[in-house]
Amino acid sequence: MKYENLKKVALSYFTDFSSISKKILNRTISICDSLDDESDKIFRLRNALNDCLWDIPETVEDGFREFINTKFKLRLEAITYHELNSDEYERKEPRIYQKPLVLQKQNSHKM
107 in any annotated domain: no
Which pTM was predicted?
0.71
- Picking from 82, 11, 20, the residue whose alpha carbon sits closest to that of residue 51 is 20
105 in any annotated domain: no
Instruction: Tell me if 52 sits within 8 A of 91, measured CB to CB.
Output: no
**Domain residues for 25?**
3-94
Residue-level pLDDT, tens digit, the chain, 111 residues: 899 999 999 999 999 999 999 999 999 999 999 999 999 999 999 999 999 999 999 998 989 888 888 999 999 999 988 888 876 555 555 554 445 545 555 555 555
111 in any annotated domain: no
106 in any annotated domain: no
Q: What's the structural domain count of the chain?
A: 1
44 in any annotated domain: yes
103 in any annotated domain: no
